[in-house]
Structure 1
Amino acid sequence: MEDLAEYIVRYRAARAGLELLGTIFAKDDFDAEEDAVALKGAMRGLGTDEDEIIEILANRTGVERLQIAMKFKACYGQDLVDELKSELRGNLEDAIEALMTPPPVFDAKTLRNAMKGAGTDERTIIEIMCTRMNEEIEAIKMAYAIVFERDLAEDLESETSGDFKYLMLSICACGRDESDDVDEDQAKEDAQELFDAGEDRWGTDESTFNRILATRNFEQLKETFKQYQEIAGCDIEESIRDECSGNLQDGYLAIVARAKSPAEFFADRMYDSMKGAGTDDERLIRCIVSRSEIDMRKIKIAFFIKYEVGLASFIKDDCSGDYGKLLIALVKGDTDDD
């Protein structure tokens, strides 16, 4: 439990000083024992009161949920997550388990699942590795080592290949500048280097793209992309699509999107998980749970602007039953007043 507390502190430190625009906030009169007793009552006897479970867990922060789980164990000698999983089924069970798992542990488990067995889910690896901050990645690395007794960097190296592997290892090294400082002269220099490494040569010097995209702070990258457009006469995304392919292209584009607008990046991920026939529930749950305390309000705005429909409305049309209720409860409706 001390190790668990340590990497939760690391994860929360990554949020210090940020303007958080999530939909889940700490409860003013939070009482872990009161919530533990209520959850026990919701699971007692015949039938399960899913509405009560959703009402409590969708309105508590990750740290508060952890405190509820600890109090539940103290009061009843039972593991709350195990008890919830025994009472719930399907996507609702998966979403509740995601809510009850500390973010670094959840990301670590997601990365392990993306790499173990036959084949590698590079898209999921990109979503996590290219959007998390240094302290978050450090916390994920610690959780990965504790839960699986494996080294994340070693697994990334063995399960990915080529220049994409080097990009993931660079990000895993946590060497990105995370200040908000913008140096216009440096941006011009970097933009010229990117142009020389791609558009202005036969073939692409991926090492230059890797160095700049993996180490500059996101505000600096936005200025670099602005300068790049003036030099190249096209935006950086167009050049990346022309010069790179496959997972490397997807990784570069994810970093660009994260720098320009993380809210739009995750809005796109959520839309893609629900559009058309079938739903990628694993991705949808991951995106909603992971962003609910960070920037869900900005994501809702980005979603509406780009797709001309509210995120909660889109979820309601795509996800049914108590599972849909939980996701909408986390999103808190299409507007902050819902």
Structure 2
Amino acid sequence: MSYPGYPPSDSYPAFPGYPPTGQESVYPPAGQYTYPAVPGGFPGGGSYPAAPPNAGAAGYPAPGGYPASGGFPGAPQAGGMPPYPGGPGFPVPPTGPGFGGYPQQPPAQSYAGGGPAQIPGFPGGQVPSPMPGPPAAVVQYTQGTIQAAPNFDAGRDAEILRKAMKGFGTDEQAIINVVANRSNDQRQKIKAAFKTMYGKDLIKDLKSELSGNVEELILALFMPSTYYDAWSLRHAMKGAGTQESVLIEILCTRTNQEIREIVNCYNSEFGRDIEQDIRSDTSGHFERLLISMCQGNRDENQTVDYQKAQEDAQRLYQAGEGRLGTDESCFNMVLASRSFPQLKATVEAYSRIANRDLLSSIDREFSGNVERGLKTIVQCALNRPAFFAERLYYSMKGAGTDDSTLIRIVVTRSEIDLVQIKQMFTQMYQKTLATMIASDTSGDYRKLLLAIVGQ
């Protein structure tokens, strides 16, 4: 499970589409639990506030759920999520790397592995020891809406799909029941079993039975995830015109391993070099940013170097706000190479130096696709689910629907962090993702999308 950026700072840079004042995407809620910005100190030199006197105190998680979220469905229980002693409804913050201990800093002796720390007002009056000190790294848990089905039988599912497509008409609901409740890996096994059992290609059969958006959605679900990303990139650059937003969405948000696999797949499946295609379809600083992304060489060390964050923030300020003109290569170097936790610390340091958040400075210093690409990287460093929630919202807002974007994000995030994206969507737009999908789509297409998002 994850709330990316957890625990975040108690402020969130304002940029278009992100939560309005009072609805910041922070967990725990702003001002209740602070988190050290630099080793050995708390923000502003303050300290953790005292623990609330009892479970009913304002701002303290109600039994069974976290503030404002209604609970974290499927939160991992093993290894760090037992109930507090004496308080079965209170989840204990995990004691692994990345979680800064408890709301009230425990007595020093509890770090040495002494007896349980006595904390007045906590259920049971104590928490287990030893308790770790606040680490520099942030561990993030994420959760997809689609999980691997238990008791999976590829042959049985292949038979269900065959019956659904045999004879007159198609039993779309039977197809939806299978594809929306199997992981991508299980769908690949169903494809293989179908060909073994019937000597036919499942994808060709599905294409002959389906049409329109529901066909595009089901075919996307049956593509291996790496192939789907590579296919989307090829489609974005094929023919006249280029869908730059697709290039940004994929290349600026994936992990190093995902990027390298996409680049290799692009070459093996389409016989083309992705860098060459990018050079042919883009230019200038945007081209350079995408080529940097294609290397899959972003630092992935999760430990934050606060001194480097300060230096990078100063470097970015001097490359933009602090001079006439803009040194675009400096922005490219920092944003393309630093780890996302490191970039988050840099963004926070930049706000203190420039009296303006980094996203606003990028707005002022850049324009067009390179601006959108740089902002996407910063948004992912701060809150990746919020970036995808915004993309989903604007795919459906206003007249018409950008179905390709809606399908691509729902499919590609369904096993990664769609639970968090749904939560962010509700916080940011005061409506659920399912409600907006239901009002913007229809028929079997709507049914399948809602099944994937977990409605």
Structure 1 segment 1-338 matched on structure 2, within 5 A: 19-333=141-455
Is the contact made by 1:85 and 1:93 (CA closer than 8 Å) also made in structure 2?
Answer: yes
1:168 alignment partner AA: L
Question: Does structure 2 conserve the Cα–Cα contact (< 8 Å) formed by 1:198 and 1:204?
Answer: yes
The DSSP-based 3-state class of the residue aligned with 2:321 is coil
Q: Once the 2 structures are TM-superposed, how far is the Cα of residue 135 of structure 1 from its aligned partner?
A: 0.7
Contact 2:172 2:444 in 1 (8 A): yes
Matches of 1:140 and 1:256 in 2, distance apart?
22
CA distance in 2, matches of 1:32, 1:20: 27
How far the C-alpha of 1:175 sits from its partner, in A, is: 1.3
Contact 2:142–2:420 (8 Å) recurs in 1: no
Matched residues, number:
317
**Structure with greater Cα Rg:** 2
Give the structure-2-normalised TM-score.
Answer: 0.69
Tell me, what secondary structure is at the counterpart of 2:247? helix
Q: Please tell me the residue identity of whatever aligns with 2:333.
A: R
Find the residue that maps to 1:60 and give its secondary structure: coil
In structure 2, what is the Cα distance between the partners aligned to 1:217 and 1:28?
35
In 1, Cα distance between the equivalents of 2:450 and 2:240?
34
8 Å CA contact 1:225–1:236 kept in 2: the answer is yes
Task: Please provide the CA RMSD for this pair.
Answer: 1.0
The Cα shift of 1:304 comes to 0.3
Cα distance in 2 for residues equivalent to 1:88 and 1:292: 22
Would the alpha carbon gap of residues 18 and 195 (structure 1) be closer, same or farther in structure 2, given more than 3 Å must change?
closer
C-alpha distance in 2, partners of 1:273/1:232?
Answer: 33
1:88 partner letter = L
SS in 2 for 1:257: helix
Amino acid in structure 2 at the alignment position of 1:121: Q
SS of residue paired to 1:265: helix
Contact residue 195 and residue 202 of structure 2 kept, 8 A: yes
Q: 1:12 matched to which residue of 2?
A: none
Offset of residue 18 of structure 1: 6.7
| In structure 1, C-alpha distance between the alignment counterparts of 2:305 and 2:280, rounded to whole Å | 36
CA distance in 2, matches of 1:106, 1:69: 16
In the alignment, the residues of structure 2 paired with residue 180 and residue 272 of structure 1 have an alpha-carbon distance, to the nearest angstrom, of 31
Q: Name the amino acid aligned to 2:317.
A: F
- Which secondary structure state, in structure 2, belongs to the residue aligned with residue 261 of structure 1? helix
Deviations 1:114-135 (A, max 9, x none): 1121111111100000001111
Aligned to 2:70: none
- Which consecutive aligned stretches of 4+ in structure 1 deviate over 2 angstroms post-superposition? 17-20
Deviations 1:257-303 (A, max 9, x none): 11111101000111100011100000000000000000011001100
C-alpha deviations, 1:64-85, integer Å up to 9, x for none?
0000000101001111111111
**Is the 1:20–1:293 contact (alpha carbons within 8 Å) kept by the matching residues of 2?**
no
Distance 2:225 2:148 in 1: 16
Task: Give me the whole-angstrom Cα distance separating, in 2, the residues matched to 1:322 and 1:223.
Answer: 44
The CA distance in 2 between the partners of 1:19 and 1:298, in whole Å, is: 10
TM-fit CA distance, 1:217 = 0.4
Asked whether the 8 Å contact 2:388–2:409 carries over to 1, the reply is yes
**Percent of counterpart pairs with the same letter?**
51
User: Aligned partners of 1:142, 1:70: CA distance in 2, in Å?
Assistant: 23
Residues 315 and 324 in structure 1, CA contact (< 8 A), matched pair in contact too? yes
Please give the alpha-carbon distance, in whole angstroms, between the structure 2 residues aligned to 1:113 and 1:18. Answer: 32
